[in-house]
Each structure stands twice: as C-alpha cells, then as structure tokens.
Amino acid sequence: MNLTQRPRRLRTDGVRPLVRETDLSASDLIAPVFVDATTDERVPIETMPGHERVPVDEAVDRVEEIRETGVEAVMLFGVPESKDERGSRAWAEDGVVQEATRRITSETDAYVITDVCLCEYTDHGHCGVLEDDAAEDPRLTVRNDETLDLLGKIAASHAAAGADMVAPSGMIDGMVGAIREALDAQGNTDVPIMSYAAKYESAFYGPFRDAADGAPAFGDRRHYQMDPANAREARREVDLDVEQGADVLMVKPALPYLDIVKEIRESYDHPVAAYNVSGEYAMLHAAAEKGWLDLESVASESLLSIKRAGADLILTYFAEDLADAL
C-alpha cells in the first residue's frame, strides 16, 4: 500500500489553525434583545434559559452587558403595552422599540437593528391586517397590500428613532420595496434593510413566541411563511427582495436549512444572514440540562456549521456565551 495522500498530516495541533477554513468571531454575531413595555422588572424567559424580557428602562444596561462580551450588534424585538387589531403601537413614536432605540443609540455605540413586523402588536398575533372573517375561515389570513403601508410606517418610525438597520420579518410580498420607499421618502437613504428573505413556517420558533408574546390567536402562518419542503422557492423569494433593494439576505431558521444558506451564498453576492432560532437554542439547552450534550461544544459547533454553510452574520441567542468563550 502506497499512501501518498495523508490528510492527517494537517491535523496536528500546530498546523490545524493554519489550515482552518472557517472561523467564528464576535463580529459575526447579532444578539436578539426583547424589550417589554408591560413590565418594570426583568422577566426570565423560561424556554430560553439565560434570556429575559427587559423593561425600556433597562434596555441600555442589557445592551451594555452584551457589548462587554464583544458582540456589538443587537436585534430589538418589542412587547407593546397594548395590542389592537391593526397593531398601531408598532409605528407609534413613543412605542417600545422606538423608545429603546432612541436610548440605546444615544447612550451606547451598539449597532441597532430593529425587527419590523406586526405580530407582536396585533391582538390576533398575525403579521398583518386581517381579512374579514379570518378567525372563522382558516383559508383567509392577512391582507398583503394593506399591510405594506403599515410596514413602511413601522420602519420609518424606527429609523426616525435612530435605528441603524431595519429587518422586516413578515414575509409579506413587496415588503422590502415598500420599506425602502418609506425610508427614502424621509431621507433615510442610508439605512440598510436586512430582509428575512427566506423565512420558513417552522415549528422551531416555539420558544420565541413565549419570549415575544406573538403566537397567533388562531390559525398559523403558512399562508405567508414558506413551506419547509421548498428550496427553489427560496431563490425566487430572494430574487424578489434583491430587486426591491434588500441589502442583507436572511434565511430563517438556520440549522434545518443549511442547504438554503449555501444556495443563497452561492447564487448572490449580498451578505447572507442566518437566524439560529429559539428552538435551535432551546433544544441544545434541554439536552445539556439532562447531561446528554456539552452545551458550549454543541453551541459553537452549530454556529460554526452555519458560518461554514455560507452565512456572514448569525443572529443567535448563544451570541454572548459564545463571544465570551472565544
């Protein structure tokens, strides 16, 4: 036997770092932050150990804790003081995300990205204006075009409050174009849009719905979010968002959709983001609690695999822990 090819030669401790193809760093990571207008103290999120909803008064402290780990970017989600049919607190000048954004951007150097959607603000929990009788008829859900105006208003109000980037997550057709138009109309031509371009209707979002109090009161989101069975459709969705001016393309969730991350990476030159969602976080925590997996190892291996698949940025609930360990 003549083994001239021995890949093991490059696996000794000295050479491994030299030939490593993928590296994680704190600058790849975005930490989600939940700001809650209904509480004046921090509320732990049971299904997402280590995470909590914070009152507006503590938003700056929360962001500073994150920055101490080396993570400089945060994604803000809001829980409003009240909800209504159209989600009107989502674009209020004194809304929870607007107020938190104003404080964080004036008091810290964090890079603030805001979630732009209606589901946390509507009393029915859907991501837009409902069709009449939607509660009775599961075939009816949100009115696409009427929702676009509201998304534009939300994004504009976030930018006016100082948001560095906006991230529409509702999978409403035309959302990126409507938001670009609304931002440009108020002179915010420099505020980029990170589009949740390929967002699947996934059961891995479960714990987040506890965190953001955004579970739909009836029905589900399969009429606007993507079917987990579809890959070609993701390219179509991304094409449309690119045409409408998306600056960063997101795939969500991450781990069950690494093929999509890779596909988008290879087909487009835009930065690709992946959202390592609450269920991906919760399942590793649950297994670690049982002593079945080593949390730090599986968390960093998961994030490494997302990066290796082609993501430039990763939104993850592991951001702080991982950055701390780097």
The verdict on 212 binding Zn ion (CB under 5 A) reads no
Q: Alpha-carbon distance 247 to 164, whole Å?
A: 13
List all residues 6 or more positions away from 266 whose beta carbon is below 8 Å from its beta carbon: 310
Ligand-binding annotation for 235, yes or no, is no
Which one of the spans 2-10, 114-122, 130-138, 243-251 is the region binding Zn ion (CB under 5 A)? 114-122
φ and ψ at 321, to 5 degrees? -60, -45
Binding of residue 277 to Zn ion (CB under 5 A)? no
Site string for Zn ion, 214-253 (x = CB under 5 A): ----------------------------------------
Sole window of 31-39, 44-52, 90-98, 123-131 interacting with Zn ion (rule: CB under 5 A): 123-131
Q: Does 170 bind Zn ion (CB under 5 A)?
A: yes
Does position 172 bind Zn ion by CB under 5 A? Answer: no
Give Cα separations from 57 to 39, 67, 93, 162, 315 (angstroms): 10, 17, 17, 17, 24
Nearer to Zn ion, 170 or 219 (CB): 170
Q: Give yes or no: 262 in active site.
A: no
DSSP E strands in 3-150: the ranges are 29-36, 43-44, 52-54, 73-79, 111-116
Is 237 assigned a ligand-binding role in the annotation? yes
Sequence letter at residue 86: R
Residue 219, phi then psi, degrees to nearest 5? 65, -165
- Cβ closest to Zn ion, residue 80 vs residue 310: 80
| Among 162, 179, 186, 180, residue whose Cα is nearest residue 98 | 162
The two tokens of residue 270 are 């835009």
Neighbours of 9 (CB within 10 A): 8
Binding footprint of Zn ion, residue count (CB under 5 A): 4
85 is in an annotated binding site: no
Query: Is residue 127 marked as binding?
Result: yes
Is 117 a binder of Zn ion (CB under 5 A)?
yes
Residue 127 near Zn ion by CB under 5 A:
yes
Say whether 274 sits in a helix, a strand or coil.
strand
Q: How far is the CB of 127 from Zn ion (least distance, A)?
A: 3
Q: Is 83 a catalytic residue?
A: no
Closest to Zn ion by CB, 78 or 170: 170
Answer left, alpha or beta for residue 304, where phi above 0 means left and psi between -120 and 50 means alpha. Answer: alpha
Among 48, 71, 119, 129, binds Zn ion (CB under 5 A): 119
Question: CB of 263 within 8 A of CB of 238?
Answer: no
**Would you say 90 or 119 has its CB closer to Zn ion?**
119
Q: Could you tell me which of 325, 212, 229, 216 has the C-alpha nearest to residue 277? A: 212
Residue ranges binding Zn ion (CB under 5 A): 117, 119, 127, 170
| Residue positions forming the annotated binding site for 5-aminolevulinate | 209, 221, 278, 317
Which residues are known catalytic residues? 199, 252
| Residue positions forming the annotated binding site for Zn(2+) | 117, 119, 127
